[in-house]
Amino acid sequence: MTAPRSDALVVFGVTGDLAHKMIFPALYAMVKHGALTVPIVGVALPKWSLEDLHKRVVDSIKLSGGVDDRAALDRLLSLFNYVSGDYNEPDTFTAIRSALGMTRRPVHYLAIPPSLFDVTIRGLGASKLAENARVVVEKPFGRDLASARKLNRSARAVFPEDSIFRIDHFLGKEAIMNILYFRFANSFLEPIWNRNYIANVQVTLSEDFGVENRGGFYETAGCLRDVIQNHLFQIVALLAMEVPADRNFGALHNEQAKVFQGMRPLTSADVVRGQYAGYRKEPDVAANSDVETFCALRLFIDSWRWAAVPWYLRSGKYLATTATEVVVELKAPPQTLFADSAATLGRCNYLRFRISPNSAIALAARVKRAGKDFVGDQRELYLVEEQPGEELPYERLLGDAMAGDGALFAREDAVEAAWAVVDPVLKTHHKVRAYKRGSWGPKGADTLLAAGDDWHNPSVTK
């Protein structure tokens, strides 16, 4: 049975940076594509007029690529209403109800700091604005296992689980969705997609810039919480999961949750934390900060398919380039028939999933050179390249939430299972190691690798 579509969108935190950078451009795209025609109620503390909000929306669209459809922009602005109020005050929610008018199935998007999630959800419940409604909660969903459980209890006290959408914009990327499709749409992968043929899996999310103006936030989060526990773990789940029973998003979530539940909890020996030179001089950063701007870890999934296969994850600021990439490295042939085989030269055949800055899937294999000698080179065969007309991640995810499609959102048990993996090392860990800007992080990250393994550093060109 198809879920009823939401008939209004309420955006809490509409005056904030997230709305300005991501949400307004997504709403503009939705209007252009005919996917958004319902009222939008923006909610925030500043005492803005509707004209002030309109100026903010227009500024956002201009900065994100420009106004290429004035009629669509005018339609978007006409959908907006604005409510100024404190989330702790019942009058704020009364004003929201008034602004919603005759609509009865709103989706409430909490684009607000995590510290305000609980009070806002309780306000929605007390005002009966949660009836027949959905709620979208922006990451981070908790900062450890205990806080995630508390937040889940608060949300479930007001909304049923199938009306709670825990958003991770990474899951809305076309390249991430293509990993899931490629994995299960191609039968040739299944025979080799296991511990017998895969040597290791690496996931790298690197950025060539620092924390910029987010030093205060990073001091409360760090790389492990900010990127690895959510973004990179979600990639691991798509790569490691078993085939769902069907395309129902409940079946998909079941298999993803099993991956998180099968992950071995981390120990301090599995994690290397780094901090780029000069981080402690950034605004709002403590002079003696031990917060990591780089994190690498070694992960194991205790399942029949993945037993003893190491998963190497890393992410960091001020690294050599900005890229997100997955490399699935295959084991070497069991017998060295040719002198220049991968077993003697280092890197073996692999599959490479390029997620950003461009999207591609590549297969690396050795190809013989012309001539009598049996020597060759490792070449990459590109299978997919970035396609024009892709939806923005927030456009796709907001549209899915309004349609009640939870396939690309995280479920309660999966969120808690992921936190359970990293919880042991959030407080018990080694001190950060300094690394140079423009490098690939501290050399200590190499100690996580098994003998014969080495990091695959994303290229700046492809």
456 is a catalytic site residue: no
Region class of 74: left (phi > 0), else alpha (psi between -120 and 50), else beta: alpha
**CA nearest to 15, candidates 60, 78, 73, 77:** 60
Q: Is the dihedral angle over the CA atoms 61, 66, 67, 72 positive or is it negative?
A: negative
Alpha helices in 81-134 (DSSP H): 90-100, 117-126
Cα separation, 106 vs 130, in Å, equals 8
Three-state DSSP class for residue 197: coil
For residue 349, CA distances in Å to 103, 181, 328, 379 come to 56, 21, 9, 9
The single residue of 169, 231, 253, 456 carrying the catalytic annotation is 231
The angle subtended at Cα 259 by Cα 258 and Cα 265, nearest 5°, is 110
Report yes or no: 315 and 232 within 8 Å, Cβ to Cβ.
yes
Report yes or no: 347 and 365 within 8 Å, Cβ to Cβ.
no
Report yes or no: 219 and 284 within 8 Å, Cβ to Cβ.
yes
Strand pairing category for 323-330 and 198-206 = antiparallel
Q: Give a three-class secondary structure readout of 214-278.
A: CHHHHHHCCHHHHHHHHHHHHHHHHHHCCCCCCCCHHHHHHHHHHHHHHECCCCHHHEEEEEECC
Residue 276: which residues within 8 A CB-CB, separation 6 or more?
Answer: 210, 293, 294, 316, 317, 318, 434, 435, 436, 437
For every residue of 383-400, DSSP letters joined together read: EEE--TTPPPHHHHHHHH
Active-site residue set: 231
